[in-house]
A and B are shown apart, each in its own frame.
Chain A
Amino acid sequence: MTSAEFPTALILILGAAFVPLFRGWVRRAWLLLLPVLAFAHLVGLPHGSFGEVHVLDYTLVMMRVDRLSLLFGYVFLIAAALSAIYAMHHDDTLQHVAALVYSGSALGAVFAGDLLTLFIFWELTAVSSVLLMWARRTERAFGAGLRYVIIQLISGMLLLAGSLIYLQQGGSLAFEHFTLAQPGAWLILAAFGIKSSFPLLHNWLQDAYPEATETGTVVLSAFTTKLGIYALARGFAGTEMLIWVGTVMTAFPIFYAVIENDLRRVLAYSMTNQLGFMVVGIGLGTELALNGAVAHAFADILFKALLFMSMGAVLLRTGTVKGTDLGGLYKSMPWTTGFCIVGAASISAFPLFSGFVTKSMVMAAAASEGHPLVWLVLLFASAGVFHHAGIKIPYFAFFAHDSGIRCREAPLNMLIAMALAAALCIGIGSFPAALYALLPYPVTYVPYTSGHVLAQLQLLVFSALAFAWLMRTGIYPPELHSVNLDFDWFYRRLGARAAAGLVTGSSALYQHIAAHAQRALRGALAQGERYYGTDGLLARTRTTGSMVMWVAILLVFYLVLYYV
């Protein structure tokens, strides 16, 4: 038996069980040790299927090791380690345990070689992650968490239903590539789509993530959606529909991100936007595109975590992340400001930062595969993301008008976590060869050509110019349609507005349904109390006579049925 037989996920999940036993620095060391141990376990694993468990006549594969699963395994563990460092200052056992189980189960899902194992870890991520929202212990967080977990559980149910149908119709339990013509494949795609926040299935993300604790959002940002991306890359690579789904995902959140005031919610919108790039890459399905999709997932986990970390630090120190209430924080939190700018530069794909070397692979693939329309929308989305995530976040939080807030710099552990993440972002951007070597397919793509660098810089400079001009003329937030000068005419012609309207509609519908469901549920609960409560019709203590009456009724019922 080699070490590959042991599921890496269990190192984190079983390790979580010991967290409540430790206190103080022992606990901190333990929290950091677990992801490091798991990482050490991954390094040097041979490729192949291991950890086979025989359950219910089926063979479950706990460890399917190949380049794709290893890549996600590495980055998940890096994210787990970073968020462990980031969360070290607090003593909330619930959050520590939930974060470990959550990252462990995401890891387990990545290495799952069959649909049942995938389902088990899929559900476990849902259940463990919601605790990170409820740990904030506010009424709002509780409601958002409840909506979140219900949607995630529905995603799991869809996955299970799809898998069972697939199995029943002659398929196997193996988690391999599906085509949409296969029975059950649509259900599985829908399950993956919920996790990847497909348009109209995305509302849970913006609804729930900003409600988690300052450390919880960092953990959340890394796993759930990227697990969806991994599953899509594994199961639905080359499905053409995904190109268009992804294209829509890159474009529509921009409009919302620009007018949103809660900076963590802005980041949540930019998450859907970045996921769109990955989904496009998966939809294209060529080697370059898939490489780009997973490389971008890798980079995105790091820079998105970095951005959420900087906002978490702001939330911790000032108690708010409302753009209107903040400003001028660079005086109080210079380090955090610096790290945030690194994250912003990465997500905006500045040369020498990680987004530059990964996102461009997807765009190059789109161009070379003959999808000019897709390429143009992606270009527009790149400008948009620079604008709302790259400029808006650091500008409103740390610069803009001085809000007068004077607070302390973030705690040391947070700064260390941010510094590490920032170093990784710059490292990947400056020396992409290391990341490229890990990708599923051999890489021939060269990011640093003069044409690419120049084009990207032009895009960024003009986008920045637009922002500066709009700020100076004081028309910034309301007049969003004139933000992106170059592409303004284009997205109008596309009818992106209509799409945006649809999304607004779906958002309103979602809130509407949620509100109605809650009211109906409350009514049903009260009604239920009447029947099932301790004095209710169906649950109160009965007299012996009435019990005997039921016996008589049933006996007569049987006799009549049998005799007739």
Chain B
Amino acid sequence: MIGEHLAALQVVVPLMAAPIIVLVRRGAFAWALTMVVSIASLAIALALLVQVREVGVVSYALGSWAPPWGIEYRVDIVNAFVLVLIGLLATIGGPYAWRSFAAEVPEDQHYLGYAMFCLCLAGLLGIAITGDAFNLFVFLEISSLSTYVLIALGRERRALVASYQYLIMGTIGATFYVIGVGLLFLMTGTLNLHDLATRLGDVAHARPVLAALAFVTVGISLKLALFPLHFWLPNAYAYAPSVVSAFLAGTATKVAIYVLLRFYFTVFGKSEIFDSLPTQDIFLVLSVAAMFVASAAAAYQENLKHLLAYSSLGQIGYITLGIALANQAGLTGAIVHLFNHGVTKSALFLLAGCIWFRVHSLRFADLAGLARVMPLTCAGFVVGGLSLIGVPATAGFVTKWYLVLGALETGHWWIVFLPVVSSLIAVWYVWRFVEAAYFREPGPALIGIKEAPPILLLPAYVLVALTVYFGLDTSFTVGTASRAAEVLLGGLR
């Protein structure tokens, strides 16, 4: 019974939780319901993943209106993987949010925070699960609007500015996306992504379709913070409450990448449109720029969360590099990194939150000698940092390996060196934390500081452990990602 409606429940459960939370107006209840909803999302996502591994595609007609007229929820191995990531990070964030919200958000706003969190979760899951281009826009807006509120909950007043800038940029991105979809609708008369793919073949080289591709590409690039459309991201992540940063860093940009994959490989994949367009080359150039410029910027940041945010931009460069390579190994690397980096970066933001919880500052100057008073937090941070670098036996290495293989496959041997050299920059920015925390004498700011409470450390450590685990046992991540890459490349003729 329930098994048939899993796809719908995936979105409906968190979506319904939000109004209930607002009606009850109790922080504790809101937290408990958010926990339940998050765990339910993870369970449903895992169940869906199991299903699609067996049957290939789960198609759910919303309200029993058959596609392509009604809205279709369409789950294959690609988005099932993304759903699992979102569910996982929401579940991990739940217990952490209790203490983190208490420390960072005024008490009368707690329930609103949780309501927004549920909405954001529903929006992100919706983007990933829907098979309808316009429905996707709706969920994009739901997740974005709730994200603006979540960021604005940050303690500092700069959070408001960051949120405002993200609002403007996010709205432009969504608008561009909907303009693109409108143009596609104009040319094909359908909004169903799958249906679009088959109908585009006839009109692929009509100018509106080219314009649609440009609008969708720029709109989505904005949401995934591809260089040079990334300027909104560092402040948004840095000034949001810790748990929000962690959740968004692991999911928001990743979902946007999924949308890009969907449009490039499923919707436009069957037409000949890419043969004549230099999209791949542009992506390659922008990815490389992101890998170097953003990583270098990370190395110069004075604030730990800014450092992590810039490093995210660099890591997104790896993902888009894999997409630009557009072969089995490269795409596998991109999809694995989407998952692995989500886990790693969430872990790091949660640990940064632990540090803030005790020290009330994330400036490097105040973190000198931190490892003496918060050894566990710092050790976890170093492990996460090693994964950012791509040290063997961490999740980050797996990605590098596939990107290098993908680059070798294309025959562009010089691309092989790019991830390697850019990981040296990662060594540099991770080293800055190590140097501050382990090799400097503790300053007066650290007197009386204790290790972070277990309720904050434990969720972070689960993700740290996963970072190492997915570096050692890749059967789940690489297995799923390589099948996803096959599905996507199968969309190409």
Q: Which residues of A contact B (CB under 8 A)?
A: 20, 53-56, 94, 116, 119-120, 123, 134, 137, 157, 164, 168, 528-529, 531-534, 536, 538-539, 541-542, 544, 546-548, 550-551, 554-555, 558-559, 561-563
**Once the chains bind, are A534 and B301 in contact (CB under 8 Å)?**
yes
**Scoring B residues 158 to 189 as 1 if CB is less than 8 Å from chain A, else 0, what string do you get?**
00000011001100110010000000000000
Name the one of B172, B213, B231 contacting A562, with C-beta atoms under 8 angstroms: B213
Q: Are B478 and A554 within 8 A (Cβ)?
A: no
Interface residues as binary, B419-438 with A (CB distance below 8 Å gives 1, 0 otherwise): 01000000000000000001
Task: Determine the distance from Cα of A94 to Cα of B391 in the docked complex, in whole angstroms.
Answer: 20
Find chain B residues with CB under 8 A from A528 CB: 296, 299-300
Q: Which residues of B contact A168 (CB under 8 A)?
A: 408
CA distance A54 to B475 in the complex (A): 9
A69 CB to nearest B CB, Å: 20
Contact of B301 among A539, A544, A554 (CB under 8 A): A539
Cβ distance A419 to chain B, nearest Cβ, rounded Å: 35
**Segment at the A interface, from B34-42, B146-154, B221-229, B354-362:** B221-229
Indicate if B24 sits at the interface (CB-CB under 8 A): no
Say which residue of B168, B210, B215 sits within 8 Å of A563 (CB atoms).
B210
Alpha-carbon distance A94/B434, docked complex (angstroms): 13
Is B231 a contact partner of A134 (Cβ separation < 8 A)? Answer: no
Given contacts A561-B277, A563-B210, contact A548 B297 (CB under 8 A): no
Known contacts A164-B404, A554-B221: A536-B229 contact under CB 8 Å: no
CB closest residue in chain A, given B402: A56
Given A554-B228, A558-B217, A559-B211; A544-B300 close (CB under 8 Å) = no
Decide if B169 touches A548 in the complex (CB within 8 Å). Answer: yes
A55 touches B474 (CB 8 A): yes
Q: Which of A55, A532, A559 contacts B214 (CB 8 A)?
A: A559
Q: Which chain B residues (223-266) contact chain A, with CB distance < 8 Å?
A: 228-229, 231-232, 234-235
Digitize B387-420: 1 where CB-to-A-CB distance is under 8 Å, 0 elsewhere.
0000111000010011010001000000000001
CB distance A539 to B300 under 8 Å?
Answer: yes
When distances are taken between beta carbons in the complex, the residues of chain B under 8 Å from A554 are 218, 221, 228-229
Once bound together, how far apart are the Cα atoms of A407 and B35, in whole Å? 66
Given contacts A120-B392, A539-B310, A563-B207, contact A550 B300 (CB under 8 A): no
Q: How far is it, in angstroms, between the C-alpha of A562 and the C-alpha of B221 when the chains are bound?
A: 17
* Among A54, A119, A157, A551, residue most surrounded by chain B Cβ atoms (within 10 Å): A551
Given contacts A547-B165, A554-B218, A554-B229, contact A532 B300 (CB under 8 A): yes
Enumerate the 7 nearest inter-chain pairs by beta-carbon distance, A residue then B residue, closest first: A539-B297, A558-B214, A120-B392, A532-B297, A562-B210, A532-B300, A547-B231
Taking CB atoms, residues of chain B closer than 8 Å to A550 are 228-229, 231
Pair B375/A20 contact, Cβ less than 8 Å = yes
Across-interface contacts of A532 in B (CB, < 8 A): 293, 296-297, 299-300
Q: Is the CB of A538 within 8 A of B297?
A: yes
B420 touches A551 (CB 8 A): no
**A544-B392 contact, Cβ under 8 Å, with A532-B296, A534-B302:** no
- A551, B229: Cβ atoms under 8 Å? yes
- Is there an interface contact between A529 and B300, defined as CB atoms closer than 8 Å? yes
User: B218 contacts which of A533, A534, A555 (Cβ < 8 Å)?
Assistant: A555
Q: Nearest B residue to A134 by beta-carbon distance?
A: B439
Given contacts A120-B393, A561-B282, contact A164 B408 (CB under 8 A): yes
Q: Which residues of A contact B172 (CB under 8 A)?
A: 548, 551
- For A54, the chain B residues whose CB sits under 8 A away are 475
* Interface membership of B444, Cβ < 8 A: no
B278 engages A561 (CB within 8 Å): yes
Question: Looking at chain A's contact residues, is the secondary structure mostly helix, strand, loop, or mixed?
Answer: helix
User: For the complex, what is the distance from the CA of A105 to the CA of B207, rounded to whole Å?
Assistant: 60
**Complex CA distance for A54 and B293, rounded to whole angstroms:** 36
CA distance A120 to B306 in the complex (A): 31
Most buried by B among A119, A529, A534: A534
Given that A56-B478, A558-B218 are contacting pairs, would A544 and B164 also be in contact in the complex, using a CB cutoff of 8 Å? yes
Query: What are the residues of chain B within 8 A of A558 when measuring CB–CB?
Result: 213-214, 217-218, 282
Expressed in whole angstroms, the Cα–Cα distance for A53 and B471 within the complex equals 12
Chain A residues whose CB sits within 8 angstroms of the CB of B207 once the complex forms: 563
Q: For the complex, give the distance between the alpha carbons of A54 and B479 in Å.
A: 12
Cα A512 to Cα B357 in complex, Å, equals 47
Question: When A539-B297, A551-B222, A561-B278 are in contact, do A157 and B420 touch as well, CB less than 8 Å?
Answer: yes
**Chain A residues near B393 (CB-CB < 8 A):** 120
Expressed in whole angstroms, the Cα–Cα distance for A295 and B83 within the complex equals: 58
Given A164-B404, A551-B176, 11 additional A-B pairs, CB 8 A: A56-B398, A116-B392, A532-B296, A541-B234, A544-B164, A547-B165, A547-B169, A548-B168, A550-B231, A551-B222, A558-B282
CB distance from B427 to the nearest CB of A (A): 9
Flag if A544 contacts B391 (CB, 8 Å).
no
In Å, the complex CA distance between A531 and B402 comes to: 32
Of all chain B residues, which has the CB nearest A157? B420
| Residues on A with beta carbons closer than 8 Å to the beta carbon of B169 | 544, 547-548, 551
Known: A548-B168, A554-B218, A561-B282. A534 touches B300 (CB 8 A): yes
A536, B297: Cβ atoms under 8 Å? yes
Also in contact, A541 and B391, with CB within 8 A (given A534-B302, A555-B214, A562-B210): no
Cross-chain contact A536 with B300 (CB below 8 angstroms): yes
Residues of A within 8 A of B474 (CB): 55-56
Which residues on the B side are within 8 Å of A562 (C-beta)? Answer: 210-211, 213-214, 277
Q: Considering the chains assembled together, what is the distance between the CA atoms of A536 and B474 in angstroms?
A: 40
Set of chain B residues within 8 Å of A157, measured between Cβ atoms: 420
Task: Quote the shortest CB–CB distance from B210 to chain A (angstroms).
Answer: 4
A555 touches B210 (CB 8 A): no
B478 touches A544 (CB 8 A): no
Q: Within the assembled complex, what's the spacing in Å between the Cα atoms of A548 and B235?
A: 16
B433 to chain A minimum Cβ distance, whole angstroms, is 15
- CB neighbours (8 Å) of B168 from chain A are 544, 547-548
Q: Is the CB of A123 within 8 A of B392?
A: yes
Residues of A within 8 A of B420 (CB): 157
Chain B residues near A546 (CB-CB < 8 A): 231
A56-B329 Cα distance, complex, nearest whole Å: 11
In the complex, A94→B372 CA distance in Å? Answer: 11
Complexed CA–CA distance, A123 and B393 (Å): 12
Residue in A120, A123, A538, A541 whose CB lies within 8 Å of B235: A541
**Chain B 364-401 residues near chain A, CB threshold 8 A:** 375, 391-393, 398, 401
CA distance A541 to B391 in the complex (A): 31
**Shortest beta-carbon distance from B224 to chain A in Å:** 13
A534-B301, A562-B210, A562-B213 given; A119·B229 CB < 8 A: no
Q: Please, which residues of chain A bring their CB within 8 A of the CB of B391? A: 123
B 281-324 contacts with A by CB, 8 A = 282, 293, 296-297, 299-302, 306, 310
Residue of B nearest to A116 (CB): B392
Q: How far is it, in angstroms, between the C-alpha of A116 and the C-alpha of B392 when the chains are bound?
A: 9
> What's the Cα separation between A157 and B306 when bound, in Å?
30
Contacts of B301 in A (CB 8 A): 534, 539
CB distance from A521 to the nearest CB of B (A): 11
Cα-based distance from A189 to B472 in the complex (angstroms): 28
Q: In the docked arrangement, what's the CA distance between A119 and B401, Å?
A: 13
- The complex places the Cα of A546 from the Cα of B215 at a distance, in Å, of 19
User: Which of chain B's residues has its CB closest to A122's CB?
Assistant: B392
Which residues on B sit within 8 Å (CB–CB) of A563? 207, 210
- How near does chain A come to B482, taking the closest CB pair, in angstroms? 9
Residues of B within 8 A of A531 (CB): 296
Contact between chains at B235 and A119 (CB < 8 Å)? no
- Let me know if B439 and A56 touch, CB within 8 A: no
Chain A residues, Cβ within 8 Å of B176:
551, 555
